Every structure is written in C-alpha cells, then in structure tokens.
Chains A and B, each alone.
Chain A
Amino acid sequence: MKGVLAAIVLKGASVFTGEGALVENATIVIDGNRISAVGTEVRIPEGARVIDAKGAVVTPGLVDAVSRLGVQDVSLEASTVEGTSGPEGGPVRASLRVADTYNPASFTIPVARGGGITSAVVSPRGGVISGQSIWVDLVAKQPIRERALALHVSVQGIGAKPGARSRAFHVLREALEDARLYRANRGPYITRKLRELSISAADLGAIERALDRELKVAIHVDRASDIRGVLALVKEHRLDAILVGAAEGWKVRDEIRRAGVPVLVDPLANLPASFNRLQARDDNAALLHEAGVPVGITLLGDAHRAHRLRWAAGNAVADGLPYEAALAAITRIPAQAFGITDAGAIAPGALANLVVWNGDPLEVTTWPTHLFIRGEQIDLRSRQDLLTERYR
C-alpha cells in the first residue's frame, strides 16, 4: 500500500496511545494500513490528507473481547445464531470454530463500530469447552486475522441441575488429561492400542494445541472458589489462560496476580445475579487493577450491546479504576491478553485501527466522528441511521 495511497494525518488531537497519560496536541500519521508516526514533533508527509483533530480525542480502536458480533443476528431466533452447537453438541466442542460461520456483513457490526469498536474476539458459546474464537477487524474484506485464537471454556454450570459446576470441572479435567495422553501416545492412539478416550480426535487435537500453548484458553468463571479451582488446573496443565467474567475476582485478586493471568470483567455486572456471583461489587475492576492484575473490560458477548463498551469503562472509572487504565482495558489489555501485539495501541508499526472522538470517549455524550480500520476510513452509518433518516 505504501506510496500508492496518500498518507492520512490526524493533527492536533489528544491521543491515548494505549498506555500512560493522553498526549496533547499530537499528530498521527497513517501510512497504508499502519501507523507510521505519532507524537508532538511529527513531520507531515507531503501530499498527505490532513484531518484537523483539534479538540478531539483519538484512541486506538476499541476491542470487543468475548464478542458475538457476526455470529448472532437476532438473539431469540435460533436460526440466526451461530458459533455454538446447541445442547446436542455435548459438553466438549473444542474443534468448533467460530471462523467457519463468522459473517462480516452482519448488520450488527456497523452499530458496534458506532460505539468505536474496530476489532473483536468473536467467541463460541455453550458446553464446557465451547470451541475456538477468532480475532477480527470489523471490515468486509479478509476480516479474520487469527483463525484459532483461543479455546473458550466455561465452568459456570449454567442450568438448574444439581452438580452442573461439578460436572463442568470433571469434564474439563478429563478432557485435558485425555489430551495429554493422546499427545504422548499418538501412535498407539492411531493403531487403537490406547484406552478409549472421552472425546473425539478432532477435539483432542484442539486441546493438544492448548496444552502446547499454541492456543490461549479463555475460561469463563465468576465464583471465587471456582477461580481457585481454575487457577489450579491452569497451573497443573501450564495453560496460557485468561479469566473471563471473574465477578468475584476481587476476593482472590492476589492469587490471580500470582498466577499471572489477565482478567476480562464486566464492571456493570454488580448484582448478585446468581449464586456464582453473590459477592459481585461495583469496584471489582478497580480492586483487581490495584492488585496488579491486567484488567480488560468486556460486556460478555451480546452482539447488540457491543457499542456499550466505553460506557462500561466510564462507569468503572467512576467506581475507582484510573482513567488511563480504563482506556487500556478496552484497547491494549484485551489485545495483549489474546496475544495480538500490533493492535490496541497507537504506535509506529501498529495496525491503523483508531477512533476520533468529539470529546471524552468514556462519556456517553460524545461520539466517534471518524473511524479507521487498517488505515481505511469507515463509513460510520448503520442501519439505525438509515431508519432515522427515513422517518425523521
């Protein structure tokens, strides 16, 4: 792309680069699909398209971690919901790939972009081992950057049956142990000299990749005692883990820090909505951050609410999370947590996913005026805007 298209320059903005304080009166140069320069002393390339961003705030594109964008159109119409295999899928679907059914043309995506979202970890749902997520940029062409990003696991035991969580742990442990056995005895497995294993070859293969730390493992867990159980499994199997939900994470924050795993929390989920989170509280994100745990913010996957991400981050600030930590929690931290190193930050060499806001991005009274994904300016209009246009 370099040299073909004119560079784009955002001039005079307050810039959140991904960490630290906002840089005032900064200039960003976008060259092709990447950022080539950022700072207060940046030379503007000749022939560049210069956008005056004085008074605006520029952030990296927001990351909808644990997203359902592109696999869920109308939540209650089962035929429009993908990235899951229903109850008949059984508890282990490690080989299910969201990549197979991700639809970059879903009408949910422009609404999310209107909330400043440029990238998402589109995640599977259901069962105990739900399948493999993808990293996407919210563009039409070649949206998927990482086709097998993380194995998603839930020990929440949703459902009103006794032993739902016990079974989840049991199934997970058995699957991990069988995959270890499979990894060490591939030959005997193929020649059927190994004892019968609990899951299919395809599932074993996927879990093997997690054991080899080629796949991250994102584990949905809320209850403090379950978090302890999960951390023990993570340690035993040396998993490259991320905790998702962690509503009671604040209670075991030092253990989480010692385990070195990042968490993705929903700061708005402050109610004791189930027995898994009786001790949910407003300042979970703040307490975890204070304890030294990398904290990302997620709304836990509803395609229709992805645009609310910054709203959740703003409330986390009101409840004690430092401002810059909240901005990082919806940009850099989730990218890093999933091992994506060139997104979630505004730095030379990073992918040019960024948002120009007409004020504080964490306030609900502002909105994006420009949005770039891979250096390309995206039309911010959604179907909702078309409806308003028609009926106004």
Chain B
Amino acid sequence: MSLHLRLPLLLVALTACTIPGAVPAPEAELPARPATVYRGATVMTAAGPTLESADVLVVGSEIAGVGSDLDVPEGAVVVDAKGRWITPGLIDVHSHMGVYSVPGVRAHADGNEATSPFRPEVRAAESFWPQDPALRRAVAGGITTIHVLPGSANLVGGQGVTMRLVPALSASAMRFEAAPVTMKMACGENPKRVYGTRRKTAPSTRMGEVAMLRQRLENASHYSPEKDKPIDYGKQAMRKVVDGEILIQNHCYRADEMLLRLELFSEFGITPRAFHHAIEAYKIRDDLVEAGVGAAVWVDWWGAKMEMLDAVPENAALLDEAGVRVALHSDSPYDIQRMNQQAAKALAAGKRAGLRVDRERAIRWITANPAWLLGIEERTGTLEPGRDADLVIWSADPFSVYARAEVVVIQGQRVYDRDHPELFPPSDFDLGIGAQP
C-alpha cells in the first residue's frame, strides 16, 4: 500500500476521533495510527542520495514519507531533528548474541551443537537467551535487526533466526515474522579441527567435508516429508534447503573453497544466499555476481587462522564495485555496537585504494544489503515509504567515531533513547550486577 492512499484516510480518522459522537465515514474505520515526523535531519535513506534538511514521516509501524513538503497528518508528533542524522536501523547478519551470551561462562555456551557435524534440526532460536546483557548495547549502537546463527563447528550447524532487537522475554517475541528460515553451514578449518583434530572423527580434511555434505544433500533430495514417517526433522530441513525454501548462510573464507561450494550446490540446483566471512571474496567477485550470491564480510579482522591470512580491508569496496550484494557483519558482541564505524572504515579503505565508493553505497553495507541477505529487503533496510519504520537518529554523521545513536525506532516504536534508558531496560542479569543503569 502506498503512502498516497493511506494518508488521507488517516486525516479523516484523526478528525473523526476529535468529534465526540460523530458518525465515522466508512473508510475511517481503520484505527487511527500515531504519526511522528522527524524534522530537518540529514537523512541517509540507503536507497538514494543523502537528503539535507529532510523530514521522515512515520505512520503506525511504517515509513510514510521521506523528503520535504510531506503531507503530515494533523496531530502528528513533531520531533526536531535539526543537526541530527537519520539512517535506517542497522542490521547485523552474523551475530551469536543470546546463544553465546555474556558473561562467557560454560553455562552460556549454547551456540554449537557440536555432537555431530550435521545438526540441521537445531534452531538458534531455541538456544537464545533474551537476557543477554549484550543485546541492549547493540541497540545503543543503532542495531534494529539481528540474524542469530549457530556456530561454525558443524558442516551444517542448524537454523538461524532473524530477530528484531526489542526488549522481550522470549525469542519468539523478537522473531522477525516475515523473515525466511536460514541454515548455517561451514567449511574450512573449523569443522575439521573440531571433529578431525580434537575427536579423531570425520571430517578431518577439506575433502572429507565436501564429500560428507554432498551425501547429505543427496539423501535430502530423496526425503519425502509426506511418505517418510515419523518426520525426521533434520532431513525435512535439509529437504527444504534443497528445495530452496531455506536460505543457506555459508561460513567460508577461501576463494577456492567458495568456488567448490558453488560447484557442489549446483550439482543439486541450489544457490547459497550468502557466504559469511568470505575473506577472499574479492578474488572471485565476478563469480559471485554471476551466481547471485551475497557476501557478509568484516573490515579488518584477519590472521587468526591460515584461512584468514588474505584478508584486505578493501574487500567490501571491491565487492560492491563489482556488483556483489555485500554486507558488513560483526560476529562479535563488541563490534556489533559500532557497525556504523565499520562501514566508515570500509569506505575509507576503498577511498585510500582509489576505488569507486561513496557514502551512499557504504550505508547500504549495514542496512539494505544485509536485509537482502536475510530475505527481508521488502520490509526493512531502507527509508522508503511502505518499509517498516526501523530507523536511528544519530547525534552527528554516523560515519564519525564521535557520533552516537540517540534514538532507535523499530516498527515505529521508540525502543531506545539515550535520555530515557528505561525504554530498553538493562537485562535482568544486569540488574544489581552490571554497572550501567
């Protein structure tokens, strides 16, 4: 539904409410929805040029307009945002918050069901601890949507979940309802270290990893949830992977291994949605464009493993220039607090190398592009009419290290405000234990 259809209805609705006993017009039966207009900000929409002194109109849970001379409904709350910057809510496609919660004690190690290299039936949502103190710090960094994944010990680690960062008592209450289910897979050093090196079981080599996954995909393609009873939930999930209903999010570092994965998946007619970490994606960016595969990368993590040796800070800029849908990801409860600064770093690296990059592209690395990686690009990731009103008001240019998120809005609701810490209260764990109010 477009803005132009909706606004006049709302005006009628608001008017109707103000006249006691008035007979509402038929179209006014839609409930009145609160409207807020943020006035006079510098707006990075992630869908076009940066707008100076622009307004963002939110009606109900959605963006109703961005620009100047907007048709603002009567009674709308007006928020002065002069001198402030507004961006879409930031999205992190690779988080383990809630499944590897802080403090990092043994009891909080819920991210790897490392009891078999194939665990397609497990769901990150069913490990998720909504009281992880890290969640609130991520919101304070302007994050509105996270994708929580099982870890990378397994070849198939289990199902990821896309969540909105709202205060809640359960994972279900945070779930991004429209988001497709995802499947975490991993290749390279981690599975062979966890199984081969530590436990002397398969896989112990890269070729073992590929062979084992090939067999699982073949098995899954013959599984029938109708005929095979009782349902084997793991096989059922893998069948959905083969059928393309579940998006593959594949942890993979090296160029040659990503190409091997693409070959393997193509044997079964499937395409992964994205490679995560993708340290060497820049080497094969044309292949990724051709395959239509996204990439989620860091800016400056490198060197912890052999497969991380060829990292370059220009990865995102090179991928973007080539046309790959590239997202920056954190994989860290620290870096998730500063994704805007990660984008600034990646932009600076691209500029230093003389690549074709600009601010308008860079903001997409933490908004529109991760939305696509998660299959929620129709709902969030840009400031455009009809999108969910997920946005951040920054104290200054978000690409500055000195900027801080002042207000974070999810689906039209203010969930974080620096001046009103009670809006997103400290987690129960923090209460009487943590330092920050």
Do B344 and A76 touch (CB < 8 A)? Answer: no
Do B311 and A278 touch (CB < 8 A)? Answer: no
Do A272 and B103 touch (CB < 8 A)? Answer: yes
Contacts of B305 in A (CB 8 A): 74-77
Do A74 and B306 touch (CB < 8 A)? Answer: yes
Which stretch from A5-13, A227-235, A306-314 is at the chain B interface?
A306-314
Is B259 an interface residue when CB atoms closer than 8 A count as contact?
A: no
Is B403 an interface residue when CB atoms closer than 8 A count as contact?
A: yes
A324 to chain B, nearest CB (A): 15
Q: What does the 1/0 interface line of B403-437 toward A look like (CB < 8 Å)?
A: 11000000000000000000000000110011110
Do A303 and B436 touch (CB < 8 A)? Answer: no
Contacts of B303 in A (CB 8 A): 73-75, 108, 303-304
Contacts of A73 in B (CB 8 A): 303
Which stretch from B114-122, B152-160, B266-274, B346-354 is at the chain A interface?
B346-354
Is A28 an interface residue when CB atoms closer than 8 A count as contact?
A: no
**Pick from A273, A308, A366: contact of B348, CB under 8 Å:** A366
A384 and B334 contact, Cβ closer than 8 Å, known pairs A76-B304, A392-B318, A392-B355: no
Extra 17 A-B pairs, beta carbons < 8 Å, given A363-B400, A364-B348, A387-B312: A75-B304, A248-B435, A271-B102, A271-B133, A280-B435, A304-B303, A305-B300, A305-B301, A308-B300, A311-B401, A318-B401, A365-B344, A365-B347, A365-B399, A366-B348, A384-B311, A392-B318
Do A388 and B314 touch (CB < 8 A)? Answer: yes
Is B39 an interface residue when CB atoms closer than 8 A count as contact?
A: no
Contacts of A307 in B (CB 8 A): 300
Do B404 and A271 touch (CB < 8 A)? Answer: no
**Pick from A74, A268, A279, A281: contact of B304, CB under 8 Å:** A74
Contacts of A75 in B (CB 8 A): 303-305
A77–B103 alpha-carbon span in the complex (Å):
26
A to B CB contacts below 8 Å, 6 in the list: A160-B106, A269-B334, A278-B435, A365-B347, A388-B318, A392-B353
Do B306 and A77 touch (CB < 8 A)? Answer: yes
**Pick from B306, B309, B404, B436: contact of A318, CB under 8 Å:** B404
Do B341 and A364 touch (CB < 8 A)? Answer: yes
Contacts of A363 in B (CB 8 A): 344, 400-402
A310 to chain B, nearest CB (A): 9
Is B302 an interface residue when CB atoms closer than 8 A count as contact?
A: yes
Is B137 an interface residue when CB atoms closer than 8 A count as contact?
A: yes
Is B23 an interface residue when CB atoms closer than 8 A count as contact?
A: no
A271–B430 alpha-carbon span in the complex (Å):
11
A314 and B433 contact, Cβ closer than 8 Å, known pairs A75-B303, A268-B334, A388-B353: no
Is A362 an interface residue when CB atoms closer than 8 A count as contact?
A: yes
Is B192 an interface residue when CB atoms closer than 8 A count as contact?
A: no
On B, residues with C-beta under 8 Å from A are 102-106, 133-134, 137, 189, 282-283, 300-306, 309-314, 318, 333-334, 337-338, 341, 344-345, 347-348, 352-353, 355, 399-404, 429-430, 433-436
Is A270 an interface residue when CB atoms closer than 8 A count as contact?
A: yes
Is A189 an interface residue when CB atoms closer than 8 A count as contact?
A: no
Interface size on A, residues (CB 8 A): 45
A108–B302 alpha-carbon span in the complex (Å):
10
A46 to chain B, nearest CB (A): 35
**Pick from A74, A111, A362, A391: contact of B401, CB under 8 Å:** A362
Do A317 and B312 touch (CB < 8 A)? Answer: no
Do A271 and B306 touch (CB < 8 A)? Answer: no
Do A281 and B302 touch (CB < 8 A)? Answer: no
Most buried by B among A317, A365, A387: A365
Do A278 and B434 touch (CB < 8 A)? Answer: yes
Contacts of B311 in A (CB 8 A): 384
A279–B426 alpha-carbon span in the complex (Å):
13
**Pick from B105, B309, B312, B341: contact of A74, CB under 8 Å:** B309
Contacts of A269 in B (CB 8 A): 334
Do A314 and B402 touch (CB < 8 A)? Answer: yes
A278–B137 alpha-carbon span in the complex (Å):
14
Contacts of A392 in B (CB 8 A): 314, 318, 353, 355
A248–B401 alpha-carbon span in the complex (Å):
24
The 7 closest A-B pairs by CB, nearest first: A314-B401, A304-B303, A279-B435, A281-B435, A75-B304, A364-B345, A365-B348
Contacts of B318 in A (CB 8 A): 388, 391-392
B205 to chain A, nearest CB (A): 17
A77–B307 alpha-carbon span in the complex (Å):
11
Contacts of B306 in A (CB 8 A): 74, 77
Contacts of B347 in A (CB 8 A): 365
A250–B337 alpha-carbon span in the complex (Å):
21
Q: What does the 1/0 interface line of A314-352 toward B look like (CB < 8 Å)?
A: 110110000000000000000000000000000000000
Nearest residue (CB) in A for B400 is A363
Q: What does the 1/0 interface line of A62-76 toward B look like (CB < 8 Å)?
A: 000000000001111
Is A274 an interface residue when CB atoms closer than 8 A count as contact?
A: yes
Contacts of B301 in A (CB 8 A): 304-305
Contacts of A384 in B (CB 8 A): 302, 311-313
Do B434 and A364 touch (CB < 8 A)? Answer: no
Most buried by A among B103, B313, B401, B402: B401
Nearest residue (CB) in A for B313 is A384
Do B433 and A367 touch (CB < 8 A)? Answer: no
A278–B344 alpha-carbon span in the complex (Å):
30
Nearest residue (CB) in A for B304 is A75
Do A272 and B106 touch (CB < 8 A)? Answer: no
A102–B204 alpha-carbon span in the complex (Å):
33
Contacts of A111 in B (CB 8 A): 302
Contacts of A278 in B (CB 8 A): 103, 433-435
Contacts of A268 in B (CB 8 A): 334
Do A274 and B103 touch (CB < 8 A)? Answer: yes
Nearest residue (CB) in B for A366 is B348
Contacts of A303 in B (CB 8 A): 303
A75–B308 alpha-carbon span in the complex (Å):
10
Nearest residue (CB) in B for A251 is B435
Nearest residue (CB) in B for A276 is B103
A317–B134 alpha-carbon span in the complex (Å):
21
Do B102 and A317 touch (CB < 8 A)? Answer: no
A365–B313 alpha-carbon span in the complex (Å):
13
Contacts of A314 in B (CB 8 A): 401-402
Nearest residue (CB) in A for B134 is A271
